[in-house]
């Protein structure tokens, strides 16, 4: 559940670290095959190293919260767990006009809320309007391009003009004021998930123009009254756990299990202890704990492995660093890649539980194309020749000297979890004549130091959780994303990349085929420019009770919380 | 009595105000932006959206303005709304405070029950094996960090032997506050929480006993022919316990401070864990309110200590 903490912290993660061990065989996402015939009943407990702070998607930006509300208030469409492509969910299909300005969702007709009330487009409309009028503006900007947003936001109208629901409630049409290729993915969320209008409307009516009223203070926010997901809210013991029971009206079929509990723990160590004592049924784990858990738990726990597409680790280089001006040179950045034995680091730091990466997009992405990507195989000689080509000369002490006479020494900053990576990188860079000073920082300090408004940093070890949409590169590598709070931390400015990213985001051609071409070019340019030294996609590791059947992980989660196991929650069952 | 309490409360105002200044300054001085943490890297959010949120949260105001608003709100018992929980900070704290107090009070009681006899025995059996053993254990407990003891307890008695639960307040499905299940779950954190007192009190008490044993009134009592047991119980132990009362306020400070660690290790959803998470997420209102409530509790504990001191030592009351 490290991922949930990470999402809360601006989705910035730090690389995990550990000591050497024998690398395991490469695995793919699969759990133990179901044994015997499924039986109904039982309770599963999911341990997470994070606290649940709220159950109202409109108001909460905390990733751990989505682990719960994502099961109650699903989005209109869901990620295909294997490809990440947006697929059917509450909506059977989506149509988008040629100009990209009109989106039409066709809803399933057989969907009911857990209390038996039919689901309609009015629930979606209510949720969107509640988001726009919410006092907490966390999710509001998602709808800023919908026609009539400003008027509804300012209370001039009692309905969002650009969002129409058909008379039978089964078709939702959304008109945008300007094209946004990522609109479909953003708009399916309805500000997080779809709320049951028939309950919430008693606390806040979406027809009001009184801006002093909002859904923010509804007592139902933390006591979800009805669900469209596999589970129904039962109880929330604050700081301890949330208990959910099965939804007999779930449109994919009622879950086999009776109860699902999400239990909060203070940290990964507490989750591990709970796994070992059998207090919880399943949880994420980290590479360094795998061996110990397997030895201690014996055949009580099974390991599920999956190469997920949602996150990667990297070393980032500040192209505008005044203390390390050589980082502006592409040759130097490529040398830093050639000088790093990434495969050896994966074996040492990730204990083999990772797949090497060469640019921003993971292999599972529909835009990934390996042709033309440099693999930067470890080659110290090439690294040194690139450094010399860039103007560096070897100094008497074995450290290269830059053309301005400055020794090529710099800081590499990262979180506690990246300390092993930074240590190994320091040793390897020393071998090619670059001196590194590894510095461990706390997450908030590191995030503040790397803000685009700051340039007093050279290198950092980090990781990102990325959306299945290829637009994910826009915030990290678009030259315009260098304001306070933005994420182009390395100050990367390539006009071609920025133009391609803008075209991929704003159109005019938002078709998958065109976007695929654009992002493939972006991927190659990033691979060539090397603003990051891309390292690996970590495997998602989960331990689960061997009694739990049908459990496995997929590369993409159904929700944005990063969960990789909940794609078939209704089919999980416990062996008696 | 009433005047004494009122005077102490008035005297506490500058202390509380000072704590408010320090807490406010520390939260603002620490790097990173709460809005960035709250909003994450959603590409749909523009700089204007982030600014709007900063404005709504009052983070764009000059620090003196923010501080004056904080003090004014606090004076009206408005502790603000938690950034993360989207609920009044006092409401969130109110859910956790009883859990922390339950742990602290139980740890304090255990520390007293174990420490007082040990301290008295060490004093009376000066230089003998019992004294040396008690002093040795006391120094050992003092030297080992709480978090290490806690993790050791979890590893040995939780994971290894399975005698105690490894965390949480109740078994799944239970949520009682006073019940055997809760006592069972409290065992680990209470034992580890009490070690601070057990490491400290016996040494202080031993010194007191030794000092009192050399006093004239003890010699007089013995010369009157009183049995040694009576001399110890009536004259030595009773007088030796007086300074211990003074320590209780300090011990409560240690217990509440230690709760941040204990609650992390034992997964106890109390004020300490809440404060830790709030500080990590830059939840200013929750950090400020947690520290303030904790400080008020300490002030109250010091007042209670002074009252107890006056009660056990008539000379204080007379003075």
Task: With beta carbons less than 8 A apart as the criterion, state whether A413 and A446 touch.
Answer: yes
Inter-chain touch A144–B265, beta carbons under 8 Å: no
Q: Give per-residue pLDDT as tens, A207-236.
A: 999 999 999 999 999 999 999 999 999 999
Q: How confident is the model at residue B43 (pLDDT cuts 50, 70, 90)?
A: low
Instruction: Using an 8 Å CB-CB cutoff, list chain B residues near A443.
Output: 280
Mean predicted lDDT score pLDDT of chain A: 89
Instruction: Look at B44 and A141 and tell me if their CB atoms are within 8 Å.
Output: yes
| B57 domain-assigned | no
Q: Are A553 and A304 in contact (CB under 8 A)?
A: yes
Q: SS3 for A44?
A: strand
d(CA B259, CA B252): 10
Predicted confidence band at A166 (pLDDT cuts at 50, 70, 90)? very high
- Chain B interface, best mutation among A178, A235, A259, A270, by max B CB count within 10 A: A270
pLDDT of residue B41: 63
Query: Does residue B281 fall inside a structural domain?
Result: no
Nearest to A445 among B32, B37, B277 (CB): B32
pLDDT digits (tens, 9 = 90+) for B160-215: 888 888 878 888 777 788 888 888 899 999 999 888 888 888 888 898 888 888 88
Among the residue ranges A92-96, A144-148, B257-261, the one predicted with the least confidence is: B257-261
Mind telling me how many Å the CA of B257 is from chain A's nearest CA? 17
| CATH code of B192's domain | 1.10.3720.10
Residues 6+ apart with CB under 8 A from B302: B8, B249
> Residue B66: inside a domain, yes or no?
no
Residue A51, classed as helix, strand or coil, is coil
Residue of A240, A297, A301, A454 for testing the chain B interface, max B β-carbons within 10 Å? A240
**pTM for this one?**
0.85
Residue A15 has pLDDT above 50, yes or no: no
CA distances (Å), A528 to each of A494, A514, B171, in order? Answer: 11, 22, 55
Q: Which residues 64-123 of B are in CB contact (within 8 Å) with A?
A: 82, 84-87, 92, 95-96, 99
Within a domain: residue B69? no
Tell me chain A's radius of gyration from C-alpha atoms: 25
Determine, yes or no, domain membership for B295: no
State the pLDDT at residue B173. Answer: 73
Mean of the pLDDT values across residues A189-194? 84
- What average pLDDT does range A117-136 have in this prediction? 94
In B, minimum Cα distance to A4 occurs at B40
Contact B47 A483 (CB under 8 A): yes
- Say whether residue B60 is in contact with chain A using an 8 A CB cutoff: no
CA B118 to chain A, closest CA, distance in angstroms equals 33
Specify the higher pLDDT residue, A545 or B170: A545
Range from A10-14, A120-124, A179-183, B67-71 that averages highest in pLDDT:
A120-124
Residue B138 included in any domain: yes
pLDDT attached to residue B296:
87
CB pair distance less than 8 Å for B95 and A239? yes
What confidence score (pLDDT) does residue A22 get?
33
Radius of gyration (C-alpha) of chain B in whole angstroms:
24
pLDDT of residue A28: 38
Give CA–CA dist A220/B143, Å, rounded. 50
Measure CB to CB from residue A7 to each of B31, B40, B96 and give the nearest one. B40
Q: What is the pLDDT of residues A18-40, one digit of tens each?
A: 333 333 333 333 444 456 789 99
> ipTM of this predicted complex?
0.80
CA end-to-end distance (rounded Å), chain B: 13
Rounded mean pLDDT, B267-285: 88
In sequence order, which residues have a C-beta less than 8 Å from that of residue B140 and are 6 or more positions away? B199
Nearest CB partner across the interface for A136, out of B30, B36, B86: B86
How does pLDDT run across B64-94, given as a tens digit for each residue? 999 999 999 999 999 988 988 888 999 999 9
User: Nearest Cβ partner of B166 from A135, A273, A447?
Assistant: A273
Closest CA to B134 of B229, B192, B231, B204: B204
Q: Above 50 in pLDDT, residue A6?
A: no
Q: How many CA atoms lie within 13 A of A82 on its CB side?
A: 2
Q: Which residue has the higher pLDDT, A141 or B133?
A: B133
Tens-digit pLDDT profile for residues A475-523: 999 999 998 888 999 999 999 999 999 999 998 888 889 999 999 999 9
CB contact under 8 A, B31 and A276: no
pLDDT for position B20: 93
Percent of all residues in chain A with a pLDDT value above 90, rounded to a whole number: 72
**Number of domains forming the structure of chain B:** 1
For the record, the structure tokens of B100 come out as 């922390």
Q: Within a domain: residue B54? A: no
Residues of chain A found within 8 Å of residue B36, distances taken between Cβ atoms: 10, 447, 451, 485
Closest residue in chain A to residue B164, using alpha carbons only = A277
Among A187-196, B142-151, B239-248, which is the least confidently predicted range? B239-248
Mean pLDDT within B274-288: 89
Instruction: Evaluate whether residue B307 is within a structural domain.
Output: no
**pLDDT over 60 (residue A177):** yes
Contact call for residues A559 and A70 (beta carbons, < 8 A): yes
Residue written as tokens 């601070």? Answer: B196
Give the Cα-Cα-Cα angle A311, A64, B83 (nearest 5 degrees): 115
Check CB contact under 8 Å for A144 and B44.
yes
C-alpha distance from B310 to closest chain A C-alpha (Å): 40
Q: How far is CA B204 from CA A61, B115, B243, in A?
A: 50, 10, 9
Largest CA distance in chain B: 89
Strand locations in chain B, DSSP E? none
Give the residue numbers spanning the domain of B213. Answer: 98-270
Residue B169 contacts A, CB cutoff 8 Å: yes
Q: What percent of chain B has pLDDT over 70?
A: 93
Task: Yes or no: say if A304 and A552 are a contact pair by the CB < 8 Å rule.
Answer: yes
pLDDT recorded at residue A155 = 95
Name the minimum distance, in Å, from the CA of A447 to any CA of chain B.
6
Q: Chain B partners of A11 at a C-beta cutoff of 8 Å?
A: 40-41
What's the pLDDT score for residue A59?
A: 87
């Amino acid at each position: 559940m490290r991922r949930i903490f990470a999402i809360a912290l601006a989705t910035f993660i730090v690389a995990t670290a550990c000591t050497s061990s024998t690398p395991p065989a490469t695995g793919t996402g699969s759990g133990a095959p179901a044994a015997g015939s499924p039986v109904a009943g039982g309770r599963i407990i999911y341990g997470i190293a994070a606290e649940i702070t709220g159950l109202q998607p409109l108001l909460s930006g905390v990733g751990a919260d989505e682990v719960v509300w994502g099961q109650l208030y699903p989005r209109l469409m869901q990620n295909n767990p294997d490809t990440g492509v947006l697929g059917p969910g509450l909506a059977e299909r989506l149509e988008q006009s040629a100009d990209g300005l009109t989106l039409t969702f066709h809803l399933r007709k057989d969907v009911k809320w857990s209390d038996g009330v039919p689901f309609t487009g009015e629930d979606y409309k209510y949720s969107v309007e509640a988001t726009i009028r919410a006092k907490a503006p966390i999710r509001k900007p998602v709808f800023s391009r919908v026609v009539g947003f400003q008027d509804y936001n300012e209370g001039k109208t009692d309905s969002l003009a650009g969002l129409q629901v058909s008379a039978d409630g089964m078709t939702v049409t959304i008109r945008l004021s300007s094209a946004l290729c990522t609109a479909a993915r953003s708009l399916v969320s309805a500000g997080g998930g779809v709320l049951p209008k028939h309950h919430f409307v008693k606390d806040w009516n979406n027809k009001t123009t009184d801006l002093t009223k909002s859904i923010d203070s509804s007592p139902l926010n933390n006591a979800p009254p009805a669900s469209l997901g596999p589970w129904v809210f039962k109880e929330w013991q604050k700081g301890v756990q949330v208990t959910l029971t099965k939804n007999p009206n779930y449109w994919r079929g009622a879950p086999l299990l009776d109860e699902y509990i999400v239990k909060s723990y203070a940290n990964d160590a507490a989750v591990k202890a709970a796994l070992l004592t059998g207090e919880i049924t399943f949880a994420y784990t980290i590479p360094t704990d795998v061996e110990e858990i397997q030895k201690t738990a014996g055949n009580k726990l099974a390991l599920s492995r999956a190469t997920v597409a949602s996150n990667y680790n990297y070393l980032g280089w500040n192209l505008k660093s005044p203390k390390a001006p050589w980082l502006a040179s592409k040759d130097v950045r490529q040398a830093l890649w050639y000088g790093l034995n990434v495969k050896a680091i994966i074996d040492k730091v990730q204990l083999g539980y990772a797949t090497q990466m060469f640019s921003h997009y993971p292999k599972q992405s529909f835009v990934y194309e390996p042709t033309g990507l440099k693999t930067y195989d470890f080659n110290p000689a090439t690294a040194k020749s690139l450094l010399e080509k860039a103007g560096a000369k070897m100094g008497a002490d074995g450290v290269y000297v830059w053309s301005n006479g400055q020794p090529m020494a710099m800081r590499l900053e990262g979180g506690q979890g990246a300390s092993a990576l930074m240590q190994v990188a320091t040793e390897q860079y020393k071998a090619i004549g670059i001196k590194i000073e590894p510095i461990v920082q706390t997450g908030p300090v590191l995030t503040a130091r790397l803000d685009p408004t700051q340039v007093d940093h050279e290198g950092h070890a980090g990781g990102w959780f990325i959306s299945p949409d290829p637009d994910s590169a826009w915030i990290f590598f678009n030259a315009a994303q260098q304001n306070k709070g933005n994420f182009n931390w390395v100050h990367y400015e390539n006009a071609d990349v920025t133009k391609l990213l803008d075209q991929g985001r704003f159109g005019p051609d938002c078709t998958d085929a065109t976007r695929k071409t654009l992002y493939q070019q972006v991927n190659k340019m990033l691979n060539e420019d090397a603003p990051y030294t891309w390292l690996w996609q970590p495997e998602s590791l989960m331990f689960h009770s061997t009694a739990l059947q049908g459990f496995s992980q997929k590369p993409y989660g159904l929700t944005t919380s990063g969960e990789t196991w909940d794609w078939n929650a209704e089919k999980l069952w416990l062996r008696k | 009595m009433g005047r004494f309490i009122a005077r102490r409360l008035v005297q506490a105002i500058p202390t509380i105000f000072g704590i408010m200044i320090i807490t406010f300054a520390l939260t603002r001085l620490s790097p990173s932006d709460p809005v960035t943490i709250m909003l994450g890297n959603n590409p749909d959010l523009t700089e204007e959206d982030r600014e709007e949120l900063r404005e709504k949260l009052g983070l764009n105001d000059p620090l003196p303005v923010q501080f004056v608003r904080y003090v004014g709100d606090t004076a009206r018992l408005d502790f603000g709304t938690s950034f993360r929980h989207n609920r009044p900070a006092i409401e969130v704290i109110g859910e956790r405070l009883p859990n922390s107090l339950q742990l602290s009070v139980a740890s304090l009681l255990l520390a007293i029950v174990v420490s007082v006899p040990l301290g008295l025995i060490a004093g009376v059996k000066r230089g003998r094996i019992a004294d040396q053993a008690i002093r040795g254990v006391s120094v050992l407990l003092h030297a080992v960090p709480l978090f290490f003891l806690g993790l050791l307890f979890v590893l040995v008695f939780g994971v290894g032997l399975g005698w105690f639960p490894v965390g949480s307040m109740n078994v799944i499905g239970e949520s009682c506050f006073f019940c055997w299940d809760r006592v069972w779950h409290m065992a680990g954190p209470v034992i580890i929480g009490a070690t601070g007192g057990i490491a400290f009190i016996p040494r202080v008490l031993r010194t007191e006993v030794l000092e009192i044993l050399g006093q004239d009134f003890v010699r007089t009592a013995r010369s009157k022919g009183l049995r040694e047991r009576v001399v110890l119980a009536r004259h030595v132990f009773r007088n030796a316990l007086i300074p211990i009362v003074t320590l209780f306020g300090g011990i409560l400070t240690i217990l509440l401070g230690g709760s941040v660690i204990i609650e992390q290790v034992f997964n106890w959803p109390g004020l300490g864990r809440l404060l830790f998470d709030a500080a990590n997420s830059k939840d200013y209102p929750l950090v400020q309110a947690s520290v303030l409530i904790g400080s008020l509790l300490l002030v109250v504990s010091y007042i209670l200590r002074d009252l107890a001191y006056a009660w056990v030592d008539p000379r204080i009351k007379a003075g």
